[in-house]
Amino acid sequence: MKVLVVIKVVGTDEDIVAGNVEMLAPMGEYNDKLSKAGILLDAAGLRPSVEAKQVVLEGGTTSVVDGPFTEAKEIIAGYWIWQVGSMEEAVEWARQCPVDPKVGRGLLEIRPYWEEADLQALLGG
């Protein structure tokens, strides 16, 4: 199964997350471990929300909001795509993610992909 792991950081200044060079080495080692285990398909870090835009779709109209999103409690810092055997396995890999005590509360959200079989079930196939 494929899962998307979204890396969120809660309750901290976005600049601390973005400029956290000390975490590059441990994250690199972690990525190396994921890669050697054969589960890593894709990964990326995301630039801070000051460079982001939100397109708001509401009541049939759209509007565009420029970052930074000051009201947001969570900063999305990056993601992985893993191919794992089960959600439990994904959780155990996520548990091994390095943490920096300086940088607030980290939160890894693991979202399984819709599989073809699920879609077929949805479509009544």
Partner 1 sequence: MDARRTVEAVWRMHSARLVAALTRLVHDVGLAEDFAQDAYLAALEQWPREGVPAEPAGWLLTTARRRAIDMIRRERVRDEKYALLAVADDDEGGTGTDSELLSLVFVACHPVLSQESRAALTLRLVGGLSTEEIAHAFLVPPATMGQRISRAKRTLTEAEVPFAMPDPDALPARLNAVLEVVYLIFTEGYSATSGDRWIRRDLAERAMRLGRMLAGLMPTEPEVFGLVALMELQASRFAARIGRDGQPVLLEDQDRGRWDRTLIAHGLGALSRARGLRKPLGPYTVQAAIAACHARAPRFADTDWPAILALYDALTHLAPSPVVRLNRVVAVLHVDGPQAALDAVDELRDDPRLGRYHLFGAIRGDLLMRLGRQAEAADELERAAGLAPTRQERTLLMERAAAATR
Cα angle 92, 93, 96; round to 5: 95
Site string for partner 1, 103-122 (x = CB under 8 A): -------------x---x--
- The gap between the terminal CA atoms of the chain, to the nearest Å, is 20
Using rule CB under 8 A, residue 35 touches partner 1: yes
Using rule CB under 8 A, residue 125 touches partner 1: yes
* Binding to partner 1 in span 50-89, by CB under 8 A: 81, 83, 85-86, 88-89
Q: Which of 30, 79, 80, 93 binds partner 1 (CB under 8 A)?
A: 93
Torsion of CA 19, 24, 30, 32, to 10 degrees: 130
The amino acid that residue 106 corresponds to is G
